[in-house]
Each structure stands twice: as structure tokens, then as C-alpha cells.
């Protein structure tokens, strides 16, 4: 359980996703990271058409937490549950219905470099790949403010100029709260939403 930062990597012009992934993987491997299996993050969205002003409900499965499922409302509450959540939600079909085109997932390789965990994944809606996500986790620390310096350095060596210079606002916890998977999932949902918007924009 550590501090996690997720961002989308904009691939350079003229390269397709496959080449971009290979490029960034070779970069990470040169740093000395070792492959440590595959990872997968799936997100299903639901909305309640009957209730007015209802927020979208996102259901997230992260292979890093294989025994848990996360339920997230946008900018609102967050829930950690057992694996039976999707079955439970299907029983509530009357209220919550899956959104069309709502299933996004991110699959890729997992690398371990000392205390860091680097995940490079391809974000795809259905069968088509839409983007590349980079996730960096620093396991020993649980306070984002304390380890941001190290993480930004690491990010710079992986993704170059696209690394953010200062601690992003959504990572800054309220007060001195510890970093929790809630923030991780929020970042994922934000990234998926951005990717959806770009898809729609095209």
C-alpha cells in the first residue's frame, strides 16, 4: 500500500500504440526494472436513468487488489467491497443500468524496480486501443506530499517532459490523510473519462 500516480502518456506523432508501448517499455527496462507479471484494471459504468441528478457509478476491478472490488461515484462517495459486488449490482438492474459503451479496461505489464512498481498499460474500449497509461507506485510511503519529489524524478526518467512538475491537486489529500486506493481509483476514472472525451471528440 503506497502512493500511486497515474497519468496518460501521449504518444509521439506518427507512432501507433504498439510502437509507443515498446518504446516506453524498453526505457523502463533500461532503468533496471524487472518484469513481474501482468496487470489489469477494468471499469464498468452504471447510471440510474429514473432518478434525477443521479451521478454515474463506476465499478472498478484492479488486479493489484484481487480480492476487492471498488465502487466509485464521481467526486463523491467510495466503497471497497468483496468480489460479489457485480452480482449484487445485477440484482439492482431496475435502478442501475450499465451505460452504453461504458466498459473500459487497461491491460499491460508490471515492472518492479526496488521499492517502485511501474505499470505500463494499453487503455482500450472494447477491442480498440485508445491510449497508453503509466502508473507509478512507491510502496513504502503513505503520505503523498513526502514522497512526491522521488516520484516526480522517477517519472521524468520514464516519460520525460510529460511528467508533472508539482504535486497534482487531486493527489493532495485533505489535511494529513494517508493515501488510500480511493485516490488511485479516482485517478483511473479521471483518465478513462479523458480518454472517452477524446474518443468522442474524434
Partner 1 sequence: MSGNPPPIKISLQSLSDTKIQEIAYDGRETFIQPLSMSESLTDLANRIDFLAENEDEETQTDDATSTSVDEAQYQAKQWPWENIRTQIQRSVIEMNVLTDVLSIAQNKPTNVPKETAESSDSNRYMMYDFASKEAEPSKQSLQMITKKRCLGAASKILLSGADRLNKAKSESSFQNTYHSELLKLRQRWRVRRVGEKILGELSFRTAGSDYWHMGSFEVIKKSDEDSDTLDDYEQNLTKLTPNVPKSPIKVVVSSDLRGFSSLSVQIMDLSKDEAIKSCTLSLSDIENSAMSSANDPLWHRVLCNAQNVLFCRELFARLSKEAVQQKTLGTASPIVVIGDTITTNIFPKIQLRVQLLFSKTHPTKRNPRQASIFSIQNALMHLLLRYFSKRLHISPPHPTTAALGLTTQMRHAAVHHNSLNQLAATAKKTTLSFVDVLITMSKHYEVRQRVCDTIKVLSNEFSDPDVLAHWSLASSKTESSARLTIANSGFESCYRSAVQVIVKPDCIKILQRDARSLTLSVDPTDLHNYFVSLVASHQLMTVQVLSRTLGWTMLHVSPHSSLGLTPDIKNRGSVLISSNNGAVSVAIACNEMIGGPIQYTTHVQYTKAHDRSQLEGTMYDDPDFSLESEKYLPLGGVWMKVNWPQLHGRHFIQKMETLLTSLVY
CB 104 within 8 A of CB 124: yes
Q: Which of 17, 80, 95, 125 binds partner 1 (CB under 8 A)?
A: 80
Secondary structure (3-state) at 163: coil
Q: Is 51 in the site for partner 1 (CB under 8 A)?
A: no
- Phi, psi at 183, each rounded to 5°: -65, -35
State how far the Cα of 43 lies from the Cα of 18, in Å rounded to an integer. Answer: 22
Provide the minimum distance between the beta carbon of 139 and partner 1 in the complex, in angstroms, as a whole number. Answer: 8
Of 29 and 182, nearer to partner 1 (C-beta) is: 182
Q: Is 156 in the site for partner 1 (CB under 8 A)?
A: no
Q: Is 130 in the site for partner 1 (CB under 8 A)?
A: no
Q: Is 140 in the site for partner 1 (CB under 8 A)?
A: no
Q: Is 56 in the site for partner 1 (CB under 8 A)?
A: no
Q: Is 115 in the site for partner 1 (CB under 8 A)?
A: no
Q: Is 68 in the site for partner 1 (CB under 8 A)?
A: yes
Provide the minimum distance between the beta carbon of 112 and partner 1 in the complex, in angstroms, as a whole number. Answer: 10
Provide the minimum distance between the beta carbon of 140 and partner 1 in the complex, in angstroms, as a whole number. Answer: 12
Q: Is 82 in the site for partner 1 (CB under 8 A)?
A: yes
**Per-residue x/- track, 164-183, partner 1 (CB under 8 A):** ----------------xx--
Residue 60 CB-density burial (10 A; 0-12 exposed, 13-18 middle, 19+ buried): buried
State how far the Cα of 119 lies from the Cα of 121, in Å rounded to an integer. Answer: 6
Nearest CA among 159, 157, 151, 168 for reference residue 116: 151
Q: Is 65 in the site for partner 1 (CB under 8 A)?
A: yes
Nearest CA among 20, 18, 17 for reference residue 160: 20
Q: How many residues bind partner 1 (CB under 8 A)?
A: 16
Q: Is 67 in the site for partner 1 (CB under 8 A)?
A: yes
CA angle (25, 26, 27) in 5-degree steps = 90
State how far the Cα of 38 lies from the Cα of 13, in Å rounded to an integer. Answer: 27
* Residues of the shown chain interacting with partner 1 in the complex, contacts defined by CB under 8 A: 1, 63-70, 80-83, 139, 180-181
Amino acid at each position: 500500500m503506497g502512493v500511486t500516480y497515474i497519468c496518460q502518456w501521449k504518444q509521439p506523432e506518427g507512432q501507433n500504440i504498439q510502437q509507443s508501448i515498446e518504446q516506453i517499455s524498453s526505457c523502463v527496462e533500461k532503468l533496471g526494472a524487472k518484469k513481474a507479471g501482468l496487470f489489469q484494471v477494468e471499469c464498468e459504468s452504471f447510471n440510474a436513468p429514473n432518478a434525477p441528478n443521479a451521478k454515474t457509478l463506476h465499478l472498478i476491478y484492479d488486479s493489484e487488489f484481487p480480492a476487492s472490488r471498488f465502487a466509485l461515484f464521481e467526486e463523491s462517495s467510495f466503497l471497497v467491497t468483496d468480489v460479489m459486488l457485480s452480482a449484487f449490482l445485477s440484482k439492482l438492474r431496475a435502478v442501475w443500468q450499465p451505460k452504453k459503451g461504458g466498459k473500459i479496461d487497461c491491460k499491460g505489464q508490471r515492472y518492479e524496480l526496488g521499492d517502485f512498481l511501474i505499470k505500463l498499460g494499453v487503455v482500450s474500449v472494447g477491442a480498440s486501443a485508445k491510449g497508453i497509461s503509466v502508473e507509478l507506485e512507491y510502496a513504502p510511503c503513505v503520505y503523498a506530499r513526502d514522497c512526491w519529489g522521488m516520484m516526480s524524478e522517477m517519472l521524468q526518467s520514464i516519460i520525460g517532459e510529460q511528467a508533472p512538475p508539482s504535486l497534482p491537486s487531486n493527489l493532495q489529500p485533505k489535511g494529513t490523510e494517508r493515501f488510500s486506493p480511493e485516490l488511485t481509483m479516482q485517478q483511473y476514472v479521471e483518465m478513462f473519462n479523458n480518454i472517452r472525451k477524446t474518443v468522442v471528440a474524434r
